[in-house]
């Protein structure tokens, strides 16, 4: 899909890691035993498979996102039906062949991990199909909204991993040695085509100019080119349409009062190559509240921590967020009810690079879904609350007498 080789290898490793995680998880997927208010009764929870888990993944992570879903689905006793992005079908076919081979070598049908290739029409059929008990969709908020409505109409269950408009907040006590590489990695990695890409850099007024100078210096050293070449940090955009979105977003930012201080150009070479771009902006510019899936970083200035949190939370998306600070008061405010409203809330690390051990997903127009670690496995299971009467009496709950 165009990402550089180390990132591609990292994505495959992420699939391996979630498989390791799921194997261990399969031994501890426990329900609760709950005290019963009735004598001679036991109250407990039982988790059962849902059946078929549908997965629609996006082009930017053509391997790992399916792995997050499939590993948890399989250890829960489910089968999977996967539709990868139409532009990354080779990756989908390769992964499916590998998984089917593993299943068959362990006396399971390869069809437990099934693949369908196609476009929006196939995705629509999956969303409408009552046999697809859970549908996990990764993609844009616009399409995800329709997927969620379609699945809900048939009372199915959906897991939505949608847009992100992620911000890094840098306080005036931050360790700037961490800030610069974190910002460059999160803003430029995968050519800005991650849902967790840093799109907004919020800088305290005391350190604004210093950080801008250092980030611009780092951007000037970024090597753009074939993602298979050693030393390349930024590969191409995925499509010509993305190149046009890049140009449109820069034009809109300038029209709204933004100032391009680095990049801003489409490179005249074969392929969809653009310059990673930095734009000085303000929070009230409409363009900074939109997710544009390209390497554009909007830099904004703030005076207080509370102002920065308000800017972070002012967008419709709620996926990932980061603050760089040494102040424990701000640290715990950031994680608390009056801090970040995102599903991923980081301190002194960038917005991207999530570990598989924690649940991945976000709030608001990011969809509210959770995948990967923690208790995300419960979304692929059906919960039964079971009451067992092992006595020879029939007492009723709440002490009701029915005589």
Q: Please give the positions annotated as active site.
A: 161
In contact, 103 and 51? CB cutoff 8 Å: no
Q: Cα separation of 368 and 161, whole Å? A: 7
Beta strands per DSSP E along 146-197: 157-161, 166-170
Three-class DSSP category at 355? coil
Which residue in 297, 319, 289 sits closest to 222, CA to CA? 297
Is there a contact between 43 and 36 (Cβ–Cβ < 8 Å)?
yes
CB 205 within 8 A of CB 293: no
DSSP 224: B
Q: Are 356 and 6 in contact (CB under 8 A)?
A: no
How crowded is residue 86: how many other Cβ atoms within 10 Å of its Cβ?
14
What contacts 279, CB < 8 A, 6 or more positions away?
250, 253, 254, 258, 259, 260, 261, 264, 296, 297, 298, 299
Dihedral sign (CA 256, 278, 201, 207): negative
């Amino acid at each position: 899909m165009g990402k550089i080789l180390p990132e591609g290898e990292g994505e495959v490793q992420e699939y391996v890691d979630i498989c390791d995680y799921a194997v261990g998880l399969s031994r501890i997927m426990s329900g609760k035993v709950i005290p019963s208010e009735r004598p001679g009764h036991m109250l407990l929870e039982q988790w059962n498979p849902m059946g078929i888990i549908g997965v629609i993944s996006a082009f930017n992570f053509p391997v790992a996102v399916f792995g997050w879903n499939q590993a948890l689905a399989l250890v829960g006793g489910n089968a999977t039906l996967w539709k990868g992005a139409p532009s990354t079908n080779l990756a989908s076919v390769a992964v499916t062949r590998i998984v089917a081979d593993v299943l068959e070598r362990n006396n399971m049908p390869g069809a437990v991990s099934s693949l369908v290739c196609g476009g929006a029409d196939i995705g629509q059929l999956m969303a409408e199909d009552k046999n697809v008990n859970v549908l996990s969709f990764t993609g844009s908020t616009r399409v995800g909204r329709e997927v969620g409505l379609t699945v809900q109409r048939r009372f199915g269950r959906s897991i939505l991993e949608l847009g992100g408009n992620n911000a890094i907040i840098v306080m005036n006590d931050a360790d700037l040695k961490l800030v610069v590489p974190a910002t460059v990695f999160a803003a430029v990695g995968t050519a800005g085509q991650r849902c967790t890409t840093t799109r907004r850099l919020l800088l305290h007024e005391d350190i604004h100019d210093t950080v801008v100078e250092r980030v611009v210096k780092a951007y000037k050293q970024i090597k753009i080119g074939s993602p298979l070449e050693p030393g390349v940090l930024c590969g191409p955009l995925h499509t010509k349409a993305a190149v046009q979105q890049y140009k449109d977003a820069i034009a809109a930012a300038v029209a709204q009062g933004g100032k391009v201080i680095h990049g801003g150009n489409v490179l005249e070479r074969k392929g969809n190559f653009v310059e990673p771009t930095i734009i000085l902006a303000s929070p009230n510019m409409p363009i900074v509240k939109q997710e544009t899936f390209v390497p554009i970083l909007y830099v904004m200035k703030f005076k207080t921590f509370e102002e920065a949190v308000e800017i972070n939370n002012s967008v419709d998306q709620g996926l990932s967020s980061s603050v760089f600070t040494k102040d424990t008061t701000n640290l715990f405010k950031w994680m608390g009810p009056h801090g970040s409203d995102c599903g991923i809330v980081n301190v002194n690390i960038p917005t991207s690079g999530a570990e598989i051990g924690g649940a991945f997903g976000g709030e608001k127009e990011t969809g509210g879904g959770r995948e990967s670690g923690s208790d995300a496995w419960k979304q692929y299971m059906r919960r039964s609350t079971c009451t067992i009467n092992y006595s020879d009496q029939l007492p009723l709950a709440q002490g009701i007498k029915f005589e």
